[in-house]
Structure 1
Amino acid sequence: MTFKKLLLKIHLWLGLSSGLIVVILGITGCLYVFEEELRPIIHDYYYVDQVKDKKLPISHLIKIAQEANKKIHPKQTFSGCRTFSDDRRTVVAWFYEELDNDAIWYWNQYQTNYVYLDPYTGNVTKIEDYNFEFFVFVRMLHQTLCLNSKIGDPITGTATIIFIISLITGLILWWPKNKSAAKQRFWFQWKNTTKWKRKNYDLHNILGFYMMIFTLIIALTGLVWAFECYDKGIQWLFNGGKTFAKEERIVSDTTKYTPISATDKIYNATLKAHPKA
């Protein structure tokens, strides 16, 4: 068996072994990249029915959200709140509960609820099970195939590595021997007699060549999500060989006190400093 035939076999079987996962990652990645643009179009509860003169204090809205969510999930704790500079947008508060870190599926690991409120009236417009929100599902399918990250990350990461090897072997197979062969590598040279099998081969070869630089960048950057060692290596490389200590996350116990006035003061000060944020 010649080297080229061996390379062709490797290219074929690597493509077959990773193809389905790569297709899933590709489709979900294309969908998720437009998440911010599509979410307001899909979800009507992102907008209020009527814009009024004055909004309720943010602390009051958080309290309403806590009371509404407590009726459904009493064990969930308040995790965050988001407001928008667009006066038409609802305010959203979210709540979190840890379930089972060792569960196979991501939705069995934790439970997250998003409560959407009209900032003018305080009416709850939607209590959303965030685990099954369309774009959350798309992101988790893209990142871990909806599995626990300990299981899903190695699967998607390995498939991506195989895909990268397929790209490299494909480029070697594509490389023309001479100028005459190069004519058929850069553009289509079809005739009326050209059979579909040859057309399919040319589509794979030519389009694959022009897309390779983009797919290679996408694959190499995507590996950051899958492997922590790769992530650290990339950070080390772009930090000029320096490593920085990870900052400890500061968590406050909100059950010991209720900083209602502090919440409003912080929000108002932030809004004044960054009115378009």
Structure 2
Amino acid sequence: MKKRKPSVAFKELIRQAHLYLGLVSGLVVFIVSVTGCLWAFQEEINKFTSTLPTIEKQNLPVILPSEAKELAHEVFPGRLIHGTLYEAQNDPIKVIFYELEPEFYQTVYLHPYSGEVLEIDNNLKGFFPFVLEGHRYLWMPKFIGEQVVAWSTVIFAFMLISGIVLWWPKKRKQRKQKFSFDWKKSTRWKRKNYDLHSVVGFYVSFVAIIVIYTGLVMAFDSFGAAVYYGLGGEKEALWRLSKNYENSSRIAGKLEPIDQLYYDLREEYPQANDLEFHYPYASSDAIYVEIGYQDGVYYDADYRFYDNKSLQEISSPTLYGKYEEAGFPEKVLRMNYDIHVGAIGGIPGKVLAFFISLLCASLPITGFLLWYGRTIKKKKVISKPILAYQE
């Protein structure tokens, strides 16, 4: 029996792994890719379809964080407030409630001057929350679904790399044919489907691998930490609240410290797009504020922590602090989400993310049709009985 060359045997092994892993993960990759398409422009669509009233800017003081907290608790008494978001002075104030178990995620919109409740939004209901649930955990129980999505994403990364190995022609003359669709009127559908799978897969892989990488950073904390420390990061590769200074005393003044902080930061950051205040969960926790500079982009935000009595600033031991003080490893991790959804490139970046996700969704379909045509349909034709001709 003639032995196969090692290179041929290795390529056949890759082919078999590509086939069966594709069949196992194909449906998951399709769902995650399609929901990724739908999520790309969710911020723009939500703004366009918003039913919130237009508010005229007035020469009046806005509702302060401590007041916003009290007004929102009248709507949801006893519930945990994640934070209060201030945007432009003629935008509603958003008080965001969030609890993990059982999950509770609601936003109360307040009139910035009167404190009137303008709208209550259940962030777990509606089209885009449904899309996000599918993207993150396939509408399954969260723990199970997240693992299925995470490991299917790992498999998809292997599929892209192994696809290029299988596609790459041995001879240079053959490469020109494989870089484009060389279709004629006589080209059969089976050949067109093969080209759609291989040529699209080749081109999409270069950008899709970035989307996959950023997805894995979010899916696996250990992977994100490995990337961060591998780039030379020295801080804690996680998110956690800073603690108050010991024996700190409250600042003198009529205002609550968090309200005074609002005025201080408005003065310090007149160019800020938004300020999000997070109330201390316990007396030992610091006040945490996110200062955003761009609408829909989060990587360059400043994360500031303040003693909840003295308002003395507390440095964060994690990679989340002032953006101008962040090193290269910190910036890479902080850009991760914005790269994943394409927001890092503005509208053109989101358009690119949309089409890359759409093309990724096509690969399991064309791959399945290839397998079906070569295996299932072929078997049916072979097993079809030959009827004797009768006059």
Q: What range describes the TM-score normalised by the shorter chain of this pair? A: 0.7 to 0.9
Q: Determine the C-alpha separation between the residues in 2 that align with 1:21 and 1:154.
A: 11
| Structure number with bigger Rg | 2
For the 8 Å contact 1:145–1:156, the answer to whether it is kept is: yes
Per the TM alignment, residue 68 of structure 1 is displaced from its structure 2 partner at its CA by 2.2
Question: CA distance change for structure 1 residues 270 and 147 in 2, over 3 Å: closer, same or farther?
Answer: farther
For the 8 Å contact 2:133–2:139, the answer to whether it is kept is: yes
Q: Deviations over 1:215-246 (max 9, x none)?
A: 11211221112222212211111126x46475
Q: Determine the C-alpha separation between the residues in 2 that align with 1:126 and 1:238.
A: 44
Question: 2:80 corresponds to which residue?
Answer: 77
2:187 aligns with one of 161, 170, 194: 194
Question: Aligned residues, how many?
Answer: 256
For the 8 Å contact 1:80–1:94, the answer to whether it is kept is: yes
Q: Deviations over 1:161-181 (max 9, x none)?
A: 111111111101111121332
Per the TM alignment, residue 98 of structure 1 is displaced from its structure 2 partner at its CA by 4.6
Any gaps of 5 or more consecutive residues in structure 1?
100-108
Q: Determine the C-alpha separation between the residues in 1 that align with 2:131 and 2:124.
A: 10
Matches within 5 A, 1:137-216: 137-147=130-140, 149-216=142-209
The alignment's C-alpha RMSD in Å is: 2.7
Q: Which runs of 4+ in 1 moved over 6 A?
A: none
Which one is further off, 146-155 or 226-235? 146-155
As a proportion of its length, which structure holds more helix? 1
2:93 aligns with one of 91, 94, 112: 91
1:267 aligns with one of 262, 269, 290: 262
Which one is further off, 50-59 or 182-191? 50-59
1:21 aligns to 2:28 (yes or no): yes
Question: 2:54 corresponds to which residue?
Answer: 48
Question: CA distance change for structure 1 residues 205 and 88 in 2, over 3 Å: closer, same or farther?
Answer: same
Q: Determine the C-alpha separation between the residues in 2 that align with 1:251 and 1:111.
A: 25
Q: Determine the C-alpha separation between the residues in 2 that align with 1:228 and 1:92.
A: 29
What letter is aligned with 1:76?
R
What letter is aligned with 1:91?
I
For the 8 Å contact 1:154–1:227, the answer to whether it is kept is: no
Any gaps of 5 or more consecutive residues in structure 2?
245-249, 273-391
Q: Determine the C-alpha separation between the residues in 2 that align with 1:238 and 1:174.
A: 32
